[in-house]
């Protein structure tokens, strides 16, 4: 199992990252703010006006440390990584399976089923913790609907097009009652539906930012085991789109991102004043809010969780790597089918 390494998030505008020996140095206005050994890093993410020296980029590429550049609001811009790792035969098998409708659908079905199951678990936990909440009836209805969609996804021979419809319906059912999971600061974090590009309310801005972080980690996990993040099974192929990373995220969004977003809001670690409206009508987080979120995200990744297939306790931050490894084993023929992560 790959050792859990840290991701360095740089949000200070005008920061410059350079290499000194085997250390990454973060400077702002020529003053050194931070030094970190490269061997402790699994990735570097810069938000906004953050620059890196070519020597640092080269060292990161050589050591398999992915460097990503995003806008201040978390929109993906570019990624720098080294040569593709892994066995070329594995990637050829990945492309072959992606081109085979039945085999592609079998993997996609497992991912959709896990998404429906994990969304249902999030709602069930909310019902357990707040059985008398105003939205209990709506939550119970959504739980039942997600159970039926879970069965639909597991039905043999369902084509990918139908699975995409099932995934969309599961998302609509889940987000249709998501507002009932917000039990504090309701006025500032009212949720009426998922929206993005740009997000139009505080909670959508929070979710979009977390999904961007999750996409970075999913891409890194797939590249670490030698898979092509752009060639997926569920999401349609599109130039520049990390379809397989998006596939891998579906089953883990509720477990990692959504739970963290709700925790930050319900525990009032983030408040309405941490968000601002832009001239375009969108909503974005303040610099301090992003820092709070990034610290919480790193802490959440350190929490232990039991993997149902591996039957061992792993850090939450390792779940994407574990699933990428299992997917690679499935494609190599070491496993009869892809075992998705289903949260208990």
> What would the pLDDT profile of 220-276 be if each residue is shown by its tens digit?
888 878 899 999 999 988 887 889 999 999 999 999 999 999 999 999 999 999 998
Can you point out the beta strands (E) in the chain? 6-10, 15-20, 23-28, 31-37, 41-47, 50-52, 66-70, 76-80, 275-277, 283-285, 304-307, 312-315
Domain membership flag for residue 274: yes
Residue 175 tokens, joined:
């987000």
Residues with Cβ within 8 Å of 100's Cβ and at least 6 positions away in sequence, in order, are none
Q: At what angle do helices 202-224 and 319-332 cross, to 10 degrees?
A: 50
Q: Which of 54, 80, 106 is the last residue of a domain?
A: 80
Domain membership flag for residue 337: no
Same domain, 69 and 95: no
Of 313, 92, 293, nearest in space to 202 by CA: 293
Same domain, 59 and 165: no
Q: Which of 80, 115, 137 is the last residue of a domain?
A: 80
Same domain, 74 and 115: no
Which residues in the chain show pLDDT less than 50? 1-2
CATH number at residue 301: 1.20.120.920
Same domain, 133 and 242: yes
Domain membership flag for residue 191: yes
Same domain, 108 and 25: no
Give per-residue pLDDT as tens, 103-114.
999 999 999 999
Q: Which of 80, 101, 135 is the last residue of a domain?
A: 80
Q: How many domains does the chain have?
A: 2
Give the integer Cα–Cα distance in Å for 38 and 150: 43
Same domain, 209 and 260: yes
Residues with Cβ within 8 Å of 2's Cβ and at least 6 positions away in sequence, in order, are 224, 318, 321
- Are residues 344 and 121 in contact, defined by beta-carbon separation less than 8 angstroms? yes
Give the integer Cα–Cα distance in Å for 333 and 337: 8
- Are residues 260 and 270 in contact, defined by beta-carbon separation less than 8 angstroms? no
Q: Convert 247-269 to b/e letters by CB count within 10 Å (16 or more is b).
A: bbbbbbbbbbbbbbbbebbeeee
Looking at residue 83, its pLDDT comes to: 66
Domain membership flag for residue 140: yes
Give the integer Cα–Cα distance in Å for 282 and 276: 8
Domain membership flag for residue 104: yes
Give per-residue pLDDT as tens, 130-159.
877 778 889 999 999 999 999 998 888 889
- Are residues 18 and 56 in contact, defined by beta-carbon separation less than 8 angstroms? yes
Domain that holds residue 271: 88-332
């Amino acid at each position: 199992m790959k050792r859990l390494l840290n991701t360095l998030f740089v949000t200070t505008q005008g920061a410059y990252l350079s290499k000194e020996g085997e250390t990454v140095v973060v400077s702002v206005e020529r003053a050194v703010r931070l030094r970190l050994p490269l061997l402790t890093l699994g990735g570097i993410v810069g938000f906004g006006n953050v620059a890196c020296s070519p020597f640092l980029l080269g060292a990161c590429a050589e050591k398999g440390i992915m460097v990503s550049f995003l806008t201040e609001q978390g929109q993906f811009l570019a990624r720098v990584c080294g040569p593709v790792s892994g066995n070329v035969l594995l990637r050829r098998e990945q492309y072959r399976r992606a081109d085979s409708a039945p085999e592609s659908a079998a993997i996609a079905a497992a991912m959709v089923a896990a998404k429906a199951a994990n969304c249902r678990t999030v709602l069930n936990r909310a019902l357990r913790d707040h059985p008398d909440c105003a939205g209990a009836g709506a939550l119970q209805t959504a739980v039942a609907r997600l159970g039926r969609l879970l069965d639909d996804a597991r039905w043999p021979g369902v084509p990918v097009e139908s699975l995409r419809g099932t995934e969309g319906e599961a998302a609509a059912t889940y987000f249709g009652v998501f507002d009932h999971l917000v039990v504090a600061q309701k006025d500032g974090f009212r949720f009426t539906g998922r929206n993005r590009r740009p997000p139009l309310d505080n909670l959508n801005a929070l979710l979009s930012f977390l999904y961007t972080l999750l996409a970075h980690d999913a891409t890194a996990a797939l590249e670490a085991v030698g898979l092509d993040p752009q060639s997926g099974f569920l999401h349609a192929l599109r130039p520049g789109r990390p379809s397989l990373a998006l596939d891998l995220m579906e089953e883990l969004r509720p477990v990692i991102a959504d739970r963290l977003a709700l925790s930050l809001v319900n525990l009032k670690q983030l408040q309405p004043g941490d968000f601002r409206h832009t001239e375009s009508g969108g909503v974005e987080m303040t610099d301090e809010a992003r820092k709070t979120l990034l610290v919480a995200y790193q802490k959440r990744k350190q929490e232990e969780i039991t993997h149902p297939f591996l039957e061992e306790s792993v850090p939450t931050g390792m779940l994407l790597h574990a699933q990428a490894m299992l997917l690679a084993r499935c494609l190599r023929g070491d496993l009869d089918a892809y075992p998705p992560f289903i949260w208990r």
